[in-house]
Amino acid sequence: MPAGDRNHQGIVPAVALVAAAIGVAAAVIGIYSAGLHGPWLLDDYAHLPALIAHPPAQPAGWLAQVLSHAGPTGRPLAMSSLLVDAQRHGADVAGWKLTNVLLHVAVTVAVWAFATQVIATLPARRGAAAAGLVVAALWALHPLQVSTVLYVIQRMTELSALFTFAGLALYVDGRRRLADGRRGGRRRLFATFLVCLPLAVLSKETGALLPVLCAVTEFALFPGTRGRGRPRIVVVLLVTFGVLPALALAALYAVRFEDLIAAGFATRSFTLGERLLTELRVLVLYVVQVLVPVPAVLGFIHDDIAVSRSLLEPPQTLWSLLALLAAAGSALALRERMPIACLGVLGFLAAHALEASFLPLELMFEHRNYVPSAFLVLGAVTAVKTLPARPQVLAGACAVALLTVAALTVLRVRIWSSPASLYANTLRLHPGSTWARSMAAELFSLSGQHRQARDLLAASGGPGAAMQGLVLACREQGAVADASFAAATGALSGPVDGYQAEALIALAELGLDGQCRYSGSAFLRLLGAALERPVAQTTSAYKLRVYQAHFLGREHDYDLALSALDAAWRLRPEDPMPLFFSAELAAESGDHARARGFYTRAVTIAARTGADYSIYVEDIGRKLQQ
Ramachandran area for residue 3 (φ above 0: left; ψ -120 to 50: alpha; else beta): alpha
Give CA–CA dist 370/373, Å, rounded. Answer: 6
Q: Which residues of 44-82 are buried (b: 16+ CB within 10 A; e: fewer)?
A: bebbbebbbebbbeeeebbebbbebebeebebbbbbbbb
Type of residue numbered 384: V
Residues 321 and 278 in one domain: yes
Q: Is residue 360 part of a domain?
A: yes
Last residue of a domain, one of 507, 536, 565: 536
Residue 572: CATH number of its domain: 1.25.40.10
> Looking at residue 187, what is its pLDDT?
94
Query: Residue 330: pLDDT band by 50, 70, 90 thresholds?
Result: very high
143 and 77 in a single domain? The answer is: yes
Q: Evaluate whether 162 touches 77 at the Cβ level (below 8 Å).
A: no
**What's 417's DSSP letter?**
T
Measured between alpha carbons, how far is residue 274 from residues 363, 366, 545 in Å? 10, 20, 31
| pLDDT band at residue 619 under the 50/70/90 scheme | confident
Verify that 205 and 236 share a domain, yes or no. Answer: yes
529/385 same-domain check: no
Residue 548 lies in a domain: no
Asked if residue 468 lies in contact with residue 443, where contact means CB atoms within 8 angstroms, the answer is no
Task: Identify whether 110 is part of a domain.
Answer: yes
Given its phi and psi angles, is residue 301 left (phi above 0), alpha (psi -120 to 50 degrees) or beta? beta
Q: Domain check: are 382 and 477 in the same one?
A: no
Residue 19 belongs to a domain: yes
Does a structural domain hold residue 307?
yes
For a pLDDT cut of 90, what percent of the chain falls above it?
A: 44
Domain boundary among 536, 571, 596: 536
* Same domain assignment for residues 477 and 504: yes
Task: Name the nearest CA neighbour of 112 among 352, 378, 404.
Answer: 378
Both 114 and 254 in a single domain?
yes
Integer Cα distance of 536 and 495 in angstroms? 7
In a domain, 543, yes or no: no
CB 147 within 8 A of CB 153: no
* Statement to judge: residues 403 and 445 lie in one domain: no
The mean pLDDT value for 338-348 works out to 94
- Within this chain, do residues 455 and 514 fall inside the same structural domain, yes or no? yes
| Same-domain pairing of 51 and 146 | yes
Which residues span the domain enclosing 507? 433-536
Regarding whether 186 and 93 lie in a shared domain, the answer is yes
Q: Taking residues 177-197, what's their average pLDDT? A: 92
Mean pLDDT (whole number) for 357-361: 88
Q: Is the pTM of this model over 0.75?
A: yes
424 lies in a domain? no
**501 and 400: one domain?**
no
Closest CA to 112 of 130, 125, 100: 130
pLDDT band at 106 (very low <50, low <70, confident <90, very high): very high
Measured CA to CA in angstroms, residue 242 lies from 90, 235, 257, 261, 577 at distances of 40, 10, 22, 22, 41
pLDDT digits (tens, 9 = 90+) for 589-604: 888 888 889 889 988 8
Number of domains in the chain: 3
The residue from 382, 415, 448 where one domain ends is: 415
pLDDT band at 166, cuts 50/70/90? very high
